[in-house]
Structures are given as C-alpha cells and as structure tokens.
Amino acid sequence: MTVAQLKQELVKRGLPGSGRKDELLSRLVAEGAHVPAGRPNAPKKTAPKSATTRGDAAISQRARPEGPIVMVVESPAKCATIAKFAGSSCIVLACNGHVRTLPSKPNSVRPAEGFAMDFELVAGAGGVLKNLGAAVRDARALYLATDPDREGEAIAWHVHEALRDRALLPDNVPVHRISFSEITQQAVTNALAAPRRINVPLVRAQQARQAVDYLVGFTLSPVLWRKLPGCRSAGRVQSVALRLVVEREHDVLRFEPREHWHLKLRVGAANTRGAAVADKASALEAELTHLNGTKLEQFSLPNEAAASAARAALPAEWRVSRVQRSERSTQPPAPYNTASLQQDASNRLGLPVGRVMRLAQSLYEGVRLGGGEPVALITYMRTDGIQMSEHGVQSARSYIGSTFGSSAEWLPSEPRLFKTKARNAQESHEAIRPVDFSVEPRSLRGLMGDAELRLYELIWRRALASQMANALHEQLAITLWTQPPPRFNEGSLVRHLEALGIGRPSTYASILKALQERGYVTMVGRSLRPNHNGELVTALLTSPSARLEQYVNTSFTARLEARLDAISNGELDATAFLSDWW
C-alpha cells in the first residue's frame, strides 16, 4: 500500500493519518487490518502495540507477572487519595488533563483528506509523558483512570497514543481503561476489578466536536477580523450564546410598559351593631376579581379614571359567600446535574458559574478538612444525569429513615426515579450527590472554606430531598404587574442553553468566561449585558448578506449536538457525519 492509501484507510477508521510509513503500517496492523504481503517494512501482526475495534479500543499485550501497576489520573490533587485506596503496589501519576491538542493553525483539520486531524503536545506534556514512560517501564500494567466522560475518554486515548508513538510504552505492558464517579475505597477497588477497553465511539465524538469547532472558528473568525477589527473570535456555541444575550437585550429595550390598575380591598368583621371593624391588623386584604358579574382581566382597568369608577361601584358591605381551603402536594426536584447545579448555585448563592465548577471540582477530588488528608465529598460533577445510583438512593433512604423516621410522612414506600427532560442529554453517569449522606454540612463548619461548605450543603440537601416524601403546602395566588423580560444572568443563560440542547454542561463555564474575556458581554450587577462589540458580532453573523446565520442558529446547533451524541453511542460514523455537515 502507498502512503496515501495507508492514510486514507486510517482516516476511514477514525485513526490519525500522519506519520512515517512504518508508523502508519503499525497503526493499521494494530487495528487488525490485513496488509498485503511482500511490502517492505510491514510489521508482523503478532503482539501489536494496540488494537482498535469499532466498539472498543483493545489495548492489551502480554501481562508481566511482577512489578507495580501504574494508574494515570487527570489531576495531581487526587493522586494521594487514590494511591491510598489502590494500595502500595500502585503508582498513581497525573497527566494534568490533555497531553495533546488540536492547534489553532491552518490545516489542523483537512476535510479534503477525510477530515484528518493533526495533534500537538500541549506545553509541559513532554515531561509528563517522560515521567509516565519511566514509571511504566518496569510496571506490570497501565491503568488509564481519566475522568468518566467523553473528554476523559479522549484524554485516555491521547495518553496511550502519545506514549506508544514515542516508544515509551513497552510491548509487554497491558493497558486498561478504568473509571469511577466518586473517589472512595469501594469505587477505586471496583474499578480496578473491572477494567475495560477505551470506548472508541466516545473518542470519535469528541474529535468530531473538535473538528466542527475548529472549522466553524476558522470560517467565522477571519470574517470578524476583516469586517470588525478588534473583535477577537467566534465559535460554534459561544456565538449562539452571545446571540441569545443580544436578542434578550433588544427585547428589554423594545418593551413598552402598559398602564393598568387593579383594586384591593381591606375588609373587616362587623361588630355587634353592624359597623365594620377598621383594625388593620385583623382585616383581610382581598383583590377584586369580578365587577358587575364580569371577570376583570389584566387590562380591564386601563387608567385611573376606570379604576375610580370601578371603586365607586363597589358596595359598602360585603358578605362571605364561601371559604375554600386547598392543599397542594409537590414532588421534590431531582438531584443536581451539572447544568442545574450551575443555575441554582448562581441564583441562590450568587456564585459565578466558573467558580461553581472550581468548587465542585475540589469537593469531588478531596477537601483537606481541618488540614488533614483530602476527603472526597461529592460524586463526579460533570454529568447530564439526574438519577442517583442504586447505592446512592439506598444511602439517602437509609439516612432519611434513621434521622426523620420511616413513616410515609418522610419516606416514600418506593425509591423515586427521575428522567431528564433536557434535549440531547446523556444520562450514562449518575447525578451529583454526596459520597456519604451521614457527613452533614453542619459537621463541616470551621473545617473548610465557606463557599465550599455552602455548595456542599446545596448538593447534600437537594440529593437528600429527592428521596423524601412530597411537600404539602397551602396554595398561594400572586398577581403580577407587566414588566420587561429579565436580562440573562449566568444561571438563567445556562438554563436556556440546556433547554435548547446547545452545548454541554462541561462547556458552559468556559463559554461564559470567553464571552466576558473577549469583551462581548459585561456583568452589570448579576445581569449579562452585551457590549458594543458583542452587538456588532451578532449583527454581522445574523445578517442575510453574510450567509453565516446557520452557524449561530439555535436549531442547527442543537441538531449538531444530537448527531454528536449518536456518534458517542456508535450509531453514526464520525467521518460520514463530518462529510455531510461540511
């Protein structure tokens, strides 16, 4: 096979198509493909460095009988805790997230070559890989324990590829993929007992997203630089989010308040002589809903004159015709996923979305309580799921029963099940919950930062309440004045993006950060308001003459997310999707 044929075949299989001919041959043979005999430099098919199938990445070689195992995680902050759980025969090292990236330069993605992609090492990754290679040299196995999501799967794949490409991974060291959603002894033990292969469809979906973001950015950004000097960049989700903020601002500015009046009465019981008691404290305040047998609508009394005439027509004496009390039963909300946690923490705690995610990361990786060893307090914080695991549900119900009682007043007879209504949600991971419900927030006061404690309490209360009995309360009707639609704050923008099926929970914080850092929006109090450049960018991208509106169209972006999810599930080929989209 020629180099061109090798590259074409590798790209078809979703594998990197760059490198020397011998590297391309090795990669193809490792895939399990047949290479015609008689070609020079074709490696033997025995003991491949790695093998990839459509469903999984088979990365398994001859096992060594002795030596430590090496586990690779993303963050150095959790190395010590995981090492303690994994045992003395395990060396835990951090890769510090991505070791390779798709560079922002021309031809990093080449549609004409089957959307071949060239990756480069991130700054500092060379030293990380060297350290990993030194540890793996005498190891009996390598476990890739990056985060349990699409991005984590891609990081594991890149670590393996980078080690192999640099001849830092011995042929006789088996490689396994493991993951856990909480950092506990049981979770780590269970993960080590159930290694699996890299989920290639997840990796392909992540790379397809990278390719789309790269191509959209390289399509839109040069237009901005040429037409709007000073506007730094555009992006697939970033520009849609900006458009939402700009259009909401226009709705606010276009709003014209409409005058309307309503009448409230203060009525009191009559005394023994028939005179009304005017005591304000004991009087009942009521709102007039009908006048002369006709129901009053919101604008039935459009001005002061109409309100005065209605008031003059009211009788001097009123009688109680009916007293009706009602009780309403409300089910508790589901435990938090990433988006709902960002929304609630923003609205209720006043925390920026970016800080919410940093605090949640700390609670997941481990907090040094009172200066002691790190203790993980919550499960993995990047998830679309709103259903707790069976273990989590039973732990919550056990706590409720032992603390409040097992009567129907507190504990339902059956566990509650939740299913998300959000578009394009992936529910393969459980909701965010405490690792141990018995760790009450009040017991942590003085042992951790105030912001971390408040966020933990929010998560603890929400997860616990999700398995409690319905709340009973009296019905309360409220009459509102007309007012303009509220401007977006960070939480409400996240909620709107999630409802539209745009973006992913793990990207919302970075999107909001980019919009502000690039001078497109400004925080005024807690409201997001577009700057002049943000207005200009949206005007240009939505202009019919520019023919770029599809890139900032909410429906287009949501459909794109759905197709990326289909790639993750192995239902759609990544290259076919990119060819159709481009």
Catalytic residues: 380
Checking DSSP bridges between strand 100-101 and strand 120-121, what pairing results, if any? antiparallel
274 — alpha (psi -120 to 50), left (phi > 0) or beta? left
Cβ atoms 219, 551 nearer than 8 A: yes
Furthest C-alpha separation in the chain:
117
Cα separations in angstroms, 455 against 24, 433, 434, 440, 489: 49, 11, 11, 13, 19
Which residue, 177, 186, 175, is CA-closest to 85? 186
Q: Are 364 and 378 in contact (CB under 8 A)?
A: yes
Q: Three-class SS string for 354-415?
A: HHHHHHHHHHHHCEEHHHCCEECCECCCCCCCCCCCHHHHHHHHHHHHHHCCCCCCCCCCCC
- In this structure, what is the dihedral angle of CA atoms 570, 574, 580, 582, given to the nearest 10 degrees? 150
Residue 22's SS3 state is: helix
Cα 396-429-438 angle, rounded to 5 deg: 20
| DSSP secondary structure, 163-206, as one string | HHHTT-S-TTS-EEE---SS-SHHHHHHHHHS-B-B-HHHHHHH
Closest CA to 389 of 466, 456, 468: 466
